[in-house]
Structure 1
Amino acid sequence: MTRTPAPAQHASVRLRARARPVRRRPAGPWLVGLAAGVLASTAAFLTPVAPVPVQVLAAPAALPAPADDRLPDCAAVLGGMSPRAQLAQRLMVGVDVDDPEAAAETVRGSQVGGVFLPGNATALLQDQALRALQAGARIPVTVAVDDEGGRVQRIDELDGDLPSAREMSALTPDEVRALAEERGRLLAARGVTMDIAPVVDLGGQSAGEVIGDRSFGTDPDDVTRYALAFAQGLQEAGIAPVVKHFPGHGRADGDSHAGRVTTPPLADLRAADLRPYADLVGPGAPLTTGALPAAVMVGHLDVPGLTDGLPSSLTPAVYALLRGDYGFGGVVYTDDLGAMKAITGEYDLPEAVLAALDAGSDVALWSAGGDPAPILDALEPALADGTLDAAENTAAVTRVLRAKSACG
């Protein structure tokens, strides 16, 4: 039986089933003629590969939301859900993109709120496979990829290459917005509803480091302008964006995939790294309005003056900072809890998920896949005995359902 200690008991425990590492493709050529000047059309920024027919798929979670008075009341929807069904909405599990039937069975059997498509396989993105996955869900499933461009992209083998954030920063924000809108339409046509992008971490690292060329730059104002353009392009295409990695991975002293890392102190982050969050997702900010408001992803970071010995994704003060000081009212996701050693080096998956939800995350994400049932088996008694606060659980599930227009 998997041991699931209460969140206060953070003993060093090795993850029993080793997670697959996050796969990143090497950067490839994408902008023919850049040296000759700005291209006349953003269409030229996508370098096509062998054409693959695209069939437009139903994507319930990405459709524009009806007016609130046409949606069922959230309290009524939650009232008709069991505690386990509510908790399942707070999970986003990685699925095997090469095995559409298994992915659909994961949804049918667990009714998880979201699935994450890791790696570079494409079977689940073809032949209406995601429509079959959605058909097994009683509540529409959020289908997420992390299609940032450059080293981290998911549909390049089907629909062409997307430039990295660093490369896109050589363009104008309007060109980036158009580029992201085109990419978003390609994602939506394949059944994706969410892109875990853009990165709003400040850069400065060499291109191949963990953030490196995934960042739009070192100046908070530049990062804000370009991230806003990219995110709004996704929204216009019907794709929900996720800004990351709160409170800022760009100046950390290492890679949280490889182990614990430390950022500058909180006061330094406030002066620079956290400014894009205030401008993009604070009260009344441009990415928080409309039918597809942005979500935020919290990283696995040690922040002097804030985290006090825990990774940021498991620290209540981090979520209080995001909700309180920065006024974010949308859905908050963890970074990967199943394939990053900043977490897996010390916590097994059930205890990491429980600790993250208890700390204040709305949704726990892990890319390693597997059966979500043992996680739900650990969460149900925690909700019943008050380890997970019932009112906070209701608020989190409500935010998740509203984000995908399942209630209003």
Structure 2
Amino acid sequence: MTRPHVPAHHTSVRLRARAHPARRRPAGPWLVGIAAGVVAAAAAFLVPAVPTPVQPLSAPAPLAPAPVDDRLPECVDVVAALGPRAQLAQRLMVGVDAADPAAAAETVHASQVGGVFLPGNATALLQDQSLRALQAGARIPVTVAVDDEGGRVQRIDELDGDLPSAREMSGLTPDEVRALAAERGRQLAARGVTMDIAPVVDLGGQGANEVIGDRSFGTDPDDVTRYALAFAQGLQDAGVEPVVKHFPGHGRADGDSHAGRVTTPPLDELRAADLRPYADLVGPGAPLTEGPRPAAVMVGHLDVPGLTDDLPSSLTPAVYALLRDEYGFDGVVYTDDLGAMKAVTGEYELPEAVLTALAAGSDVALWSSGGDPAPILDALEPALADGTLDATEHTAAVTRVLRAKSACG
């Protein structure tokens, strides 16, 4: 049976085509000049195009820590060998139609974007090793992301089974949550997914079906930290990169940023509660910053008194400065969806939103609405050339993105 189309963005609501009552789910020859040695080193990381059978997932063997590969090319050499457009493409994560593997692979081949996001209900791209063909068209490995949180926000539940919501998982022990997440991570990795945009570290307190609601582990910052840590470490155990969200805190906002601009409590209140998980999870020396798959952070579209002014947080330089300078995070920073959330789309066209976010300090701009990335790159190239995008900060961002996916070391 053909399932109903659901708008594609990763924190919206979704329809689940099941036998039981429906629930809602989220719709949330340009690379030149690469030295021969860098091409050869990068090619070693491409996933082979030849399909191989997926192994059973019911009783996987424990994963050994990934070995450190001292043969990785130096990041400075890889970045320098990329042209400006190729560098900028690494800073984009574009939504692709998971029902059309051939079109998704062509998007990657034509644009060489650094990441793709799989929204909606379709799963064809997650079956039959289709993501191998997508990776085969990339000169640098592609980050393949889903938002598989559990509960209302899942992507592989109809393939690999249901995952409880964060609120339900908070009734388990952290060790049990870590084991659940590790099993889910192994299922994702077996299908070719490299990143799970989860867990939510927003504080709860809303009704279960509100925008954050049962996606939160609780109202106490220590509880949220403990359970989010367990979930994220489970993903890391399976070799999948977690992303904590939505900085600086959507849980106590006065509305849904999918529907329009929303306001959080003042910054001082966020520091006392909502921001504490970030300090404990991804600050200097924090547990999720270690190992071969350190966590990334996603910045939401929020108005924060005392921090933002006329722009939502995803477009505000002071927000990225807060995350980098006060909270000491040195990993990769993503925007929330710039193409399907009215807190941004109600005021900005996509090329302007992407440029503003990258200039503000985001490493990667994400949009789930898909389409040809070429017009975005066309807008970004002159901005990099004229200094609208700071060259030093741009190089640092590209370096973080490449290092996170082991394209350089």
Is there any run of 5+ residues in structure 1 with no aligned partner, and where? Answer: 1-18, 31-52
Structure 2: distance between partners of 1:129 and 1:329: 33
- Matched-pair contact (CA < 8 Å) for 2:73–2:408: yes
Structure 2: distance between partners of 1:202 and 1:27: 29
Structure 2: distance between partners of 1:405 and 1:315: 29
Within the alignment, does 1:346 sit opposite 2:336 as a pair?
no
Within the alignment, does 1:393 sit opposite 2:394 as a pair?
yes
Alignment of 1:214-363 (within 5 A): 214-363=215-364
Alignment of 1:192-211 (within 5 A): 192-211=193-212
What is the deviation of 1:24?
2.0
Structure 1: distance between partners of 2:330 and 2:141: 21
Q: Secondary structure of 1:307's match?
A: coil
Alignment of 1:173-192 (within 5 A): 173-192=174-193
Where does residue 11 of structure 1 map in the other structure?
none
TM-score with structure 2 setting the length: 0.86
Within the alignment, does 1:149 sit opposite 2:150 as a pair?
yes
Structure 2: distance between partners of 1:87 and 1:183: 32
Structure 2: distance between partners of 1:63 and 1:313: 37
- Matched-pair contact (CA < 8 Å) for 1:203–1:250: yes
- Matched-pair contact (CA < 8 Å) for 2:115–2:144: yes
Structure 2: distance between partners of 1:123 and 1:68: 33
What is the deviation of 1:79?
1.3
Per-residue deviation, residues 137-158 of structure 1 (Å, max 9, x unmatched): 0000000000000000000010
Alignment of 1:62-211 (within 5 A): 67=68, 69-211=70-212
Q: Which residue type is aligned with residue 111 of structure 1?
A: Q
Q: Secondary structure of 2:358's match?
A: helix
What is the deviation of 1:67?
2.9
Structure 2: distance between partners of 1:29 and 1:149: 18
| Change in CA separation of 1:65 and 1:373 when aligned onto 2, cut-off 3 Å | farther
What is the deviation of 1:55?
1.7
Q: Secondary structure of 1:93's match?
A: strand
Structure 2: distance between partners of 1:29 and 1:183: 23
What is the deviation of 1:54?
6.8
Q: Secondary structure of 1:115's match?
A: strand
Per-residue deviation, residues 245-299 of structure 1 (Å, max 9, x unmatched): 0000000000000000000000000000000000000000000011000000000
Q: Which residue type is aligned with residue 24 of structure 1?
A: R
Q: Which residue type is aligned with residue 290 of structure 2?
A: T
Q: Secondary structure of 2:214's match?
A: helix
| Change in CA separation of 1:175 and 1:25 when aligned onto 2, cut-off 3 Å | farther
- Matched-pair contact (CA < 8 Å) for 1:54–1:126: no
- Could you say which structure has the greater relative contact order, defined with CA pairs below 8 angstroms and 6 or more residues apart? 1
What is the deviation of 1:64?
6.7
- Matched-pair contact (CA < 8 Å) for 1:25–1:152: no
Where does residue 28 of structure 2 map in the other structure?
none
| Change in CA separation of 1:176 and 1:29 when aligned onto 2, cut-off 3 Å | farther
Q: Which residue type is aligned with residue 348 of structure 2?
A: Y
Structure 2: distance between partners of 1:375 and 1:63: 40
Where does residue 54 of structure 2 map in the other structure?
55
Structure 2: distance between partners of 1:217 and 1:26: 25
| Change in CA separation of 1:344 and 1:54 when aligned onto 2, cut-off 3 Å | farther
| Change in CA separation of 1:274 and 1:27 when aligned onto 2, cut-off 3 Å | farther
What is the deviation of 1:69?
2.9
Structure 1: distance between partners of 2:364 and 2:297: 10
Q: Secondary structure of 2:298's match?
A: strand
What is the deviation of 1:173?
0.3
Structure 2: distance between partners of 1:154 and 1:54: 21
Q: Name the Cα RMSD after superposition.
A: 2.0
- Matched-pair contact (CA < 8 Å) for 1:28–1:150: no
Q: Which residue type is aligned with residue 14 of structure 2?
A: R
Q: Secondary structure of 1:204's match?
A: coil
Where does residue 14 of structure 2 map in the other structure?
24
Q: Which residue type is aligned with residue 349 of structure 2?
A: D
Structure 2: distance between partners of 1:64 and 1:386: 41
